[in-house]
């Protein structure tokens, strides 16, 4: 999936968040972090195709420790 998004978007210009084999999704050990861990390709009601209203709502899904 990362490869298909990268046809048009350069992942290196973005965030620098870890993706791929070294970043296992803490919500599901069978998945690794990729573009679709943080975006929905079919659109959401929020900015940047992110499935939550705020960026911090997204981050705390995997990073409990960022919760305030």
Question: Applying CB under 6 A, which residues contact ligand HEC?
Answer: 1-2, 4-9, 11, 14-15, 17-19, 23-26, 33, 35-39, 41, 47-50, 55, 58-59, 61-63
State how far the Cα of 51 lies from the Cα of 45, in Å rounded to an integer: 8
CA distance 62 to 41: 20
Q: Which two tokens stand for residue 50?
A: 């992110």
CB of 35 to ligand HEC, least distance (A): 3
Cα 47-37-16 angle, rounded to 5 deg: 80
> Shortest gap between Cβ of 68 and ligand HEC (angstroms)?
13
Instruction: Give whichever of 9 and 53 is closer to ligand HEC, judged by the CB atom.
Output: 9
């Amino acid at each position: 999936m990362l490869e298909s998004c990268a046809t048009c978007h350069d992942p290196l210009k973005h965030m620098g968040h870890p993706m791929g084999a070294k970043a296992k999704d803490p919500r599901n050990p069978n998945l690794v972090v990729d573009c679709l861990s943080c975006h929905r390709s079919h659109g959401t009601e929020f900015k940047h195709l992110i499935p939550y209203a705020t960026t911090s709502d997204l981050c705390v899904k995997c990073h409990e420790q960022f919760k305030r």
